[in-house]
Amino acid sequence: MSFSLVKRWCETPLLRRVLQFKTYRRKILNYNMTYTLLRHRWMKRLPVLSSSFKMISTQTDKDAVDLSKFPADRIRNFCIIAHIDHGKSTLADRLLEMTGAIAKTEKNKQVLDKLQVERERGITVKAQTASLFYNHEGQQYLLNLIDTPGHVDFSYEVSRSISACQGVLLIVDANQGIQAQTVANFYLAFEAQLAIIPVINKIDLKNADPERVESQIEKVFDIPREECIRISAKLGTNVENVLQAVVDRIPPPEASIDDPFKALVFDSNFDHYRGVVANIAVFGGRVKKGDRIVSAYLGKTYEVNELGLLRPDEHSTGKLFAGQVGYIVAGMKDVKEAQIGDTLYLQEQPVEALPGFKPAKAMVFAGMYPMDQSEYQGLRSAIEKLTLNDSSVTVQRDSSLALGAGWRLGFLGLLHMEVFNQRLEQEYNASVIVTAPTVPYKAVLSSAKLIKEHGSKEITIVNPAQFPDRTVVSEYLEPMVLGTILAPDSYTGKIMSLCLNRRAVQKNMLYIDDQRVMMKYLFPLNEVVVDFYDLLKSLSSGYASFDYENAGYQAADLIKMDILLNGRPVEELITIVHRDRAYSSGKAMCERLKDSIPRQMFEIAVQAAIGSKVIARETIKAYKKNVLAKCYGGDITRKMKLLKKQAEGKKKMRLIGSVEVPKDAFINVLKRKQK
């Protein structure tokens, strides 16, 4: 990703860069404020590009950032958290413009959202960081804006980003008010004991009701309404106040330059030329090019090749000091070597690792197979490239009798999976079959022999075919999530019955104002992974918002369901279900199969069974007549072609007993439903 940035920069015609340079100057006059000009960004790169440019940059390195001039008390580290579409990226754009990090143009739309999927969906997938220089009451400050992923699927990343900060801007849409994700994000910041600055955005909208939102904030978050800043990020209204509040209300990082070097890795990217580019927050000491550093998680030693600030483009500084945030390149070859949450320290000065590190844990699994086995290699390299940048995806090779060789991938959550899939298709042009997502179940074994075999009493089941029999298990466990739903109260009834249908248990319910209700439910994760969110959206006309956080495992009455074709089980369709849901999911699978298996010369019974008990059945009637009426010397070519195609297809059919099942049928049953 950083590679692509550099590339993009280099592709910019020189002339335009000169023009940009002029714009920066003019802007200073316009705003009548003193922002540090990004001149040295030019200095660093120009000599490489063309020596003739030196004449413009006569001021040379005088203005280059001397990071030692920014002790911790002149640094503010903050992030912006918000519900989807409440204007996080737009505010970031404005902050970047006002501090001169980027030129002010019409094109600055979500500068930090670089991926196509991010712009399309209005969400941030990869967190970006930008260091801003800001003059306040005669002092120059270094403000580090740490952009966070916009969804709780990435809550671990969010929590790591937050732990690199001392304060947050909590943005709420003046029209929509508090949403589910606002709540989830607030608690992440609150638990991390950060200074919270509530920002009410989009006050320019016709239906904006900032007063109502202020009272919601007071009620739900217990923040005095006077602390809210009303802005329009789009128009730039009051954004200056936000910058001032960052300096005034957010404490500087407690980090001493005299301590041993200690840094938190809060993000990482992969660059084909330089390897891993890690984003770090320096919690103590200093680090410079050539230092030998150690990753606390892996214990591996690396030499620092390059480091500097992100503005938001990489800007090498050669050094980073306590309290600062920047990037570091140290010859790491794999993003798994720079795991988010890991601690870095100097080889000769070991320190205790920072708390809170967890290796990424997949919560949603799905099979991915190439449409055609000939595309296997291409898909493999696409998946490899994508996972280079995303250490949280787990990859396991898998194979299915119906779909061929493929992978079982683990994701942090549903959105994470969708984003991954969309990026595969958009950025790598790979067409994939994605199977319906499953969750990792657990079984507590009772058989001593099995415990010995597995090396532990508790095992995780990812592949339904490996589901252990009830007789050797003392209990099964399923992953739970705590879901937050916010909606206008007129939908409460419908939402409650939907949740009830999904085996959810209500934990609490709160009116956040006189119309909006916040409900918390404990859900089995399995019940929300497939279509819950879509249903919630449609039954609330789009007004309800939903978010969830992991809530451990709970005992559950799980059973293995087989799908039978004329009495023969189909291995790839084995499903683990809760006993209460067996009938409805069995029926749904039988119906989908019935629609996708072509009629044959004999009747086909499509059944869902638990053990030997059939719980649902559909029948595919036998063909009574299948012969072309007219076949003369006329056009038999067409008929021959059709028959040859069927003969070819026959070779690729999966035979279950004597029932021929086309690959499409498996795809239709296994793949996620299209929305």
Partner 1 sequence: MMSLRAARRALSPGVRRFSDTSGGEIVEDVSERTGCAQLTTQASLYVHWPYCLRRCSYCNFNKYISRDNNDHMMTECLQKETETLLQLSQVSCVTSVFFGGGTPSLAHPSTVAAVLETVSGQASLSEKAEVTLEVNPTPVGMSKLEDFCRAGVNRFSIGVQSLQDDDLKILGRDHSSRQALQTIEEARRLCPGRVSVDVMFGRPKQSVESWENELSKLLRVCDDHMSLYQLTLERGTQLFKQVQGGEVTVPAEDVTAEMYQCARRTLHQHGFLQYEVSNFAKHQKAVSHHNMSYWKGRQYIGVGPGAHGRFVLPGEGGVAREARTQTLEPDVWMREVQQRGHGTRRRIQLNHLELLEEVLVMGMRMTEGINHKHWELFSPQLSLREVFGRSTDVQELLQSGRLILDDRGLRCSWDGLALLDSMLPALLVELERQISQRLQRDHHTDGQTKKTSNPR
HSE-CB at 202 with a 13 A cutoff on CA atoms is 20
Specify whether the CB–CB gap between 321 and 257 falls below 8 A.
yes
Residue from 7, 206, 449, 630 that binds partner 1 (CB under 8 A)? 630
The interface region with partner 1, picked from 290-298, 468-476, 498-506, 621-629 by CB under 8 A, is: 621-629
Examine residue 469 and tell whether it contacts partner 1 (CB under 8 A): no
Examine residue 628 and tell whether it contacts partner 1 (CB under 8 A): yes
Examine residue 623 and tell whether it contacts partner 1 (CB under 8 A): yes
What are the backbone angles phi and psi of residue 146, rounded to the nearest 5°? -105, 105
With respect to partner 1, which residue has the nearer C-beta, 510 or 643? 643
Sites for partner 1 among residues 601-620 (CB under 8 A): 601-602
Which residue bears the tokens 């058989």?
447
150 is in an annotated binding site: yes
**Do the bridges between strand 167-173 and strand 195-201 make them parallel or antiparallel, or are there none, so unpaired?**
parallel
151 is in an annotated binding site: yes
With respect to partner 1, which residue has the nearer C-beta, 449 or 652? 652
Examine residue 652 and tell whether it contacts partner 1 (CB under 8 A): no
HSE-CB at 295 with a 13 A cutoff on CA atoms is 24
Residue from 25, 292, 358, 650 that binds partner 1 (CB under 8 A)? 650
Examine residue 455 and tell whether it contacts partner 1 (CB under 8 A): no
Angle value at C-alpha 304, between 384 and 48, nearest 5 degrees: 85
Examine residue 639 and tell whether it contacts partner 1 (CB under 8 A): yes
With respect to partner 1, which residue has the nearer C-beta, 449 or 625? 625
* Closest CB 662 distance from partner 1, rounded Å: 12
202 is in an annotated binding site: yes
Amino acid letter at 153? Answer: D
How far apart CA 402 and CA 572 sit, in angstroms, is 7
How far apart CA 523 and CA 502 sit, in angstroms, is 7
With respect to partner 1, which residue has the nearer C-beta, 207 or 626? 626
SS (H, E, C) 47-76: HHHCHHHHHCCCCHHHHCCCHHHCCHHHEE
With respect to partner 1, which residue has the nearer C-beta, 500 or 622? 622
The interface region with partner 1, picked from 36-44, 217-225, 545-553, 647-655 by CB under 8 A, is: 647-655
88 is in an annotated binding site: yes
Examine residue 640 and tell whether it contacts partner 1 (CB under 8 A): yes
**Contact pattern from residue 573 through residue 602 relative to partner 1, giving x for each residue in contact according to CB under 8 A and a dash for the rest:** ---------------------------xxx
Tokens encoding 40: 């040295």
HSE-CB at 461 with a 13 A cutoff on CA atoms is 25
Examine residue 29 and tell whether it contacts partner 1 (CB under 8 A): no
SS3 state of residue 627: coil
With respect to partner 1, which residue has the nearer C-beta, 585 or 596? 596
* Closest CB 641 distance from partner 1, rounded Å: 11
Please, which residues bridge with residue 284 across strands? 262
SS3 state of residue 217: helix
Specify whether the CB–CB gap between 175 and 107 falls below 8 A.
no
204 is in an annotated binding site: yes
Examine residue 57 and tell whether it contacts partner 1 (CB under 8 A): no
Residue from 11, 624, 674, 675 that binds partner 1 (CB under 8 A)? 624
**Interacting residues of 468 by C-beta distance below 8 A, sequence separation 6+:** 443, 445, 450, 459, 461
SS3 state of residue 452: helix
Residue from 401, 510, 555, 643 that binds partner 1 (CB under 8 A)? 643
Examine residue 644 and tell whether it contacts partner 1 (CB under 8 A): yes
* Closest CB 674 distance from partner 1, rounded Å: 23
Please, which residues bridge with residue 407 across strands? 368, 397
Examine residue 15 and tell whether it contacts partner 1 (CB under 8 A): no
173 is in an annotated binding site: no
The interface region with partner 1, picked from 201-209, 313-321, 493-501, 641-649 by CB under 8 A, is: 641-649
Which residue bears the tokens 């501090």?
99
With respect to partner 1, which residue has the nearer C-beta, 361 or 650? 650
How far apart CA 675 and CA 669 sit, in angstroms, is 15
**Environment class of 200 (CB within 10 Å of its CB; exposed 0-12, middle 13-18, buried 19+):** buried
How far apart CA 195 and CA 167 sit, in angstroms, is 4
Examine residue 373 and tell whether it contacts partner 1 (CB under 8 A): no
Q: How many residues bind partner 1 (CB under 8 A)?
A: 29
Question: How would DSSP label each residue in 323-365?
Answer: T-EEEEE----SGGGS-TT-EEEETTS--PPPTT-------EE
HSE-CB at 352 with a 13 A cutoff on CA atoms is 2
361 is in an annotated binding site: no
Examine residue 626 and tell whether it contacts partner 1 (CB under 8 A): yes
With respect to partner 1, which residue has the nearer C-beta, 500 or 640? 640
As annotated, the binding site for GTP includes 82-89, 147-151, 201-204
Residues annotated within a binding site: 82-89, 147-151, 201-204
* Residues in touch with partner 1 (CB under 8 A): 600-602, 621, 623-637, 639-640, 643-644, 646-647, 649-651, 658
